[in-house]
Structure 1
Amino acid sequence: MSAPAPAAAPSATDGDVVVDVVDLVAGYLPGIDIINSANLVARKGELIGIIGPNGAGKSTLLKSIFGMVKVRSGDITVNGESIVGLKADKLVRRGVAFVPQSNNVFPSLSIEDNLQMGLFQNPKIYAERLEFVTGIFAELGKRLKQRAGSLSGGERQMVAMSRALMMDPSVLLLDEPSAGLSPVRQDDAFIRVSDINKAGVTIIMVEQNARRCLQICDRGYVLDQGRDAYEGSGRELLNDPKVIGLYLGTLGTDGA
């Protein structure tokens, strides 16, 4: 089956663009490109979902935005300024936060210490940001002295997202927030992601649970072989016969 035609990227001049990925080529090893001319736009307040088959480059795209993968060509801008080549500390200052799929908390530290680690560049706003994150994750505010290593997988995910939010980012990058969680905890993770977005945070989320991702996102991108094969609203992609046939299967038809 031939690869689908690349999606037409939304205009970066339309609306308040937070993240603009243009013709991005990136990879881990010399001469081997994982991302092949990918495009993505995230506007202020949007929840963007990235889905696709295993090995499509979804997580690599997020890591490219966060400076963890070598960008060979193309550009990535945040709030109109290029961030290509910047290290993690500079990216955090520019308003980019990243929550990896695993090993995303300091297990030997308390919840409170984890949150403070998220603010090492600006500790003076701790009280203000703690009020914000506990407004979304109320249970964390009652357990600040508990060691993060004693938490369940879903609770650790809450701590990781909260720590990333402490610096008041322009965009939150989430890599597989439901990975390894039970079905009930997966639903809870998606609810929390929606709550963060409703609080005004722009989110770009990579997710293997494609159907659930498309149900909650404003717009979605289907990545295939490192390219954005399809782009549209979550509802449009859920009901697109080509997307269902190629990428979603029965996931796209049950209750969509």
Structure 2
Amino acid sequence: MTDSSAAPAQPVDDRDVVVELKDVHAGYLPGVNILNGANLVARQGELIGIIGPNGAGKSTLLKAIFGMVQVRGGDITVNGESILGLKADKLVRRGVGFVPQTNNVFPSLTIEENLQMGLYQNPKIYASRLEFVTEIFAELGARLKQRAGSLSGGERQMVAMSRALMMDPSVLLLDEPSAGLSPVRQDDAFIRVSDINKAGVTTIMVEQNARRCLQICDRGYVLDQGKDAYEGAGRALLEDPKVIGLYLGTLGQDAA
């Protein structure tokens, strides 16, 4: 585990890096940054967890990767190429999938139509990608004609993840996948995230349930005031006294 305020950044092996943020400054309003020098590396096949107090910039970091917030400094690369300034459709073509916390399905459309919307840029691969996502979310395969608006919150989350996976992304960005779900559905959401990652999809997850997030992720980043204050293996961060004292005492304290 490293304290980024005290230790210099370590060299990155570019051969297996999928996503990298270098000293990123970004914000929504002119002259006001939410991210203030954020750094992150996600390698092939990793599950990365991002935790931190409210207002730390966790969701903003994902939105910066997906071109939804203005990046004013630093760089963001996907598979070694800068993606700064690219719109969402271009980012999807570059292999970036994003599942927002809310409004993440088309409620008037069926599950099948939602999945087809995820492939509007490449409909020819629908059959193979449908097979992939229904291996992870088997329930959806039997309910393709059901309208998404009739689903529970946890079921909608499954549809949203599946739609983002339809384009075979290099990296999947998940913003608070357990938000608003019952404890049972929260556990199910974390299991599904792990299943997606085990299927070979590099995953970056922002999560308020800090303990549960760190239990399943390969590596975690603790954001504070728009910077990565701590970084390390998920289990190591769970046991680090500084992280426990500063963050885990108020984050996800009800999680086992």
TM-score range, shorter chain: over 0.9
Task: Name the CA distance, whole Å, in 2 between partners of 1:238 and 1:202.
Answer: 22
Task: Name the TM-score, length of structure 1 as normaliser.
Answer: 0.95
1:245 and 2:245 matched: yes
Name the counterpart of 2:177: 177
Q: Deviations over 1:114-152 (max 9, x none)?
A: 000000000000000000000000000000000000000
CA contact (8 A) 2:52 2:251 kept: no
Task: Name the TM-score, length of structure 2 as normaliser.
Answer: 0.95
Name the counterpart of 1:90: 90
Name the aligned partner's letter for residue 176 of structure 1: E
- By how many angstroms is 1:11 displaced? 3.0
Q: Deviations over 1:23-82 (max 9, x none)?
A: 000000011010001000000000000000000000000000000000001000000000
Name the aligned partner's letter for residue 79 of structure 2: N
Q: Deviations over 1:79-103 (max 9, x none)?
A: 0000000000000000001000000
- Structure 2 unaligned residues grouped into runs of 5+: none
CA contact (8 A) 1:6 1:230 kept: no
Name the aligned partner's letter for residue 92 of structure 1: V
CA contact (8 A) 2:211 2:255 kept: no
Residue identity (%): 85
CA contact (8 A) 2:208 2:251 kept: no
Task: Name the CA distance, whole Å, in 2 between partners of 1:76 and 1:206.
Answer: 17
Name the counterpart of 1:229: 229
- By how many angstroms is 1:14 displaced? 5.6
- By how many angstroms is 1:13 displaced? 1.8
Name the counterpart of 1:133: 133
Q: 1:231 to 1:107 in 2, by over 3 A?
A: same
Task: Name the CA distance, whole Å, in 2 between partners of 1:86 and 1:241.
Answer: 40
Q: 1:10 to 1:57 in 2, by over 3 A?
A: same
- Residue aligned with 2:22, SS: strand
What is the aligned residue count? 254
CA contact (8 A) 1:49 1:206 kept: yes
1:143 and 2:143 matched: yes
Task: Name the CA distance, whole Å, in 2 between partners of 1:193 and 1:7.
Answer: 31
CA contact (8 A) 1:7 1:229 kept: no
- Residue aligned with 2:249, SS: helix
1:167 and 2:167 matched: yes
- Residue aligned with 2:193, SS: helix
Name the aligned partner's letter for residue 181 of structure 1: L
Task: Name the CA distance, whole Å, in 2 between partners of 1:83 and 1:245.
Answer: 36
- Residue aligned with 1:236, SS: helix
Name the aligned partner's letter for residue 38 of structure 1: A
CA contact (8 A) 2:25 2:36 kept: yes
Name the counterpart of 1:211: 211
Q: 1:114 to 1:253 in 2, by over 3 A?
A: closer
1:110 and 2:110 matched: yes
CA contact (8 A) 2:221 2:228 kept: yes
Name the aligned partner's letter for residue 118 of structure 1: G
- Residue aligned with 2:223, SS: strand
Task: Name the CA distance, whole Å, in 1 between partners of 2:7 and 2:211.
Answer: 19
Task: Name the CA distance, whole Å, in 2 between partners of 1:252 and 1:82.
Answer: 34
- Residue aligned with 2:21, SS: strand
- By how many angstroms is 1:205 displaced? 0.3
